[in-house]
Amino acid sequence: MYDIVIIGAGTAGMSAAIYAQRGGKKSLMLEKLTYGGQIINTPDIENYPGIAHISGYEFSEKLYRQASDLGVKLEHGTVSSVEDEGGLFKVKTGDNSEFTGRAVILATGARNRHLGIARENELVGKGVSYCAACDGMFFRKKDVAVNGGGNTALGDALYLAGICNKVYLIHRRDQFRGAERDAEKLKVLDNVEFVLNSTVTKLNGDTKLESIDVTDKNSGAVKTIPVSGLFVAIGQEPENGAFANLVNLDAKGYIVAGEDCLTGHSGVFAAGDCRTKSLRQLTTAAADGAVAATAACEYIDRL
């Protein structure tokens, strides 16, 4: 029996756990993979206030140790359902484990969005990747492509430009959505080529990726670009299906909750990238965790 069950052990989940424990509540984090979430694969974080440079791994490790030292417990498992049993919440995982809490914080984050084209799944690990920090070194001194126009895509291109022979940055629009500073850095690099107003439409190669077909959205012209690797960075999508009976989801599957992290279901709170919000960053995830845990503590105190 826990006061607060936190589903997800990324930045939002671990921040929530810290605030829950400091609020005198017994909390449990449930995580299907490893603590830290997607940020753990980021080689260099530069935009967290007060910390000029830190790796995602080190940041996550420090956050986890802080939570662990306060007494937070971490269990691994994929949550399959959350049921409200008259004020107590029963959380079930895929291995049939059950945990009970007086309040629940949903902090499941979001996963990388796929292109949705033929052979994409087949070539994952054979040239197609969703994490430049994880797989970039496999393509050292080779030609690669990055698909996307946000901060993640620009960051991936910068990282890969430092280790690869050539980087093609493919974006469906004529301007990037990511930080202008990073775009300007890329513009002056000799081994980076922008391929704008274009989309990846075909993956070529027998047993591994050998080239990609890119279609110009304006002219319809198709050109083949020889690459050994394609890094897909076109955004994220949430995995909130298991909670659809408990909270409202928007058209994209995000939990409907505002800056107060209230879901509309008494005793259930949402924090981090899994909820509706205008900015999904490390700082907003940490802030959400603090807000959600404080609200959950106040809710329990009123019971």
pLDDT tens column, 158-192: 999 999 999 999 999 999 999 999 999 999 999 99
3-class secondary structure, 131: coil
Give, for all 303 residues of the chain, the pLDDT tens digit. 999 999 999 999 999 999 999 999 999 999 998 999 888 877 778 889 999 999 989 999 999 999 999 999 999 999 999 999 998 999 999 999 999 999 999 999 998 899 999 999 999 989 999 989 778 999 999 999 999 999 989 999 999 999 999 999 999 999 999 999 999 999 999 999 999 999 999 999 999 999 999 999 999 999 999 999 999 999 889 989 999 999 999 999 999 999 999 999 999 999 999 999 988 889 999 999 999 999 999 999 999
- pLDDT at res. 220: 97
Residue 70, exposed/middle/buried by CB under 10 A (0-12, 13-18, 19+)?
A: middle
Alpha carbon of 273 to those of 14, 214, 279: distances in Å? 13, 30, 9
Q: Which of 3, 44, 84, 131 is catalytic?
A: 131
Catalytic residue among 69, 84, 95, 135: 135
Fold of 128-232: FAD/NAD(P)-binding domain (3.50.50)
- Catalytic site includes residue 134: yes
Tell me if residue 135 is catalytic: yes
* Distance of alpha carbon 150 from alpha carbon 161, whole angstroms: 17
- Short-list 32, 18, 181, 11, CA closest to 95: 32
Residues of the chain with CATH 3.50.50.60: 2-111+236-302, 128-232
Name the residue with tokens 């890119």. 214
pLDDT (0 to 100) of residue 298: 98
Query: What confidence score (pLDDT) does residue 280 get?
Result: 87
Q: How far apart are CA 210 and CA 219, in angstroms?
A: 25
Q: Let me know the angle formed at the C-alpha of 135 by 133 and 140, rounded to the nearest 5 degrees.
A: 100
Pick the CATH number of 2-111+236-302 from 3.40.440.10, 3.60.15.10, 3.50.50.60, 3.40.50.300: 3.50.50.60
Asked if residue 245 lies in contact with residue 229, where contact means CB atoms within 8 angstroms, the answer is no
- Residue with tokens 């050998």, as numbered in its chain: 210
Cβ contact 8:283 at 8 Å: no
| Helix extents (H) in 111-177 | 132-135, 151-161
CA-based R_g, the chain, Å: 21
Chain centroid to Cα 175, Å, comes to 23
Other CB atoms within 10 A of residue 196 CB:
16
Which of these is catalytic: 44, 69, 134, 174? 134
**Going along 108-179, which residue ranges are E strands?**
110-112, 128-129, 143-147, 166-170
Has 131 been annotated as catalytic? yes
Full-model pTM: 0.79
What is the DSSP code string of 36-90? TGGGGG-S-B--BTTBS-B-HHHHHHHHHHHHHHTT-EEEE--EEEEEE-SS-EE
Question: Tokens 């659809």, residue?
Answer: 244
End-to-end CA separation in angstroms for the chain: 16
| Rounded Cα gap, residues 213 and 201, in angstroms | 6
Model pLDDT, residue 181: 95
Amino acid at 230: L
Spatial neighbors of 268 by CB under 8 A, at least 6 apart, are: 82, 84, 89, 103, 104, 105, 106, 246, 247
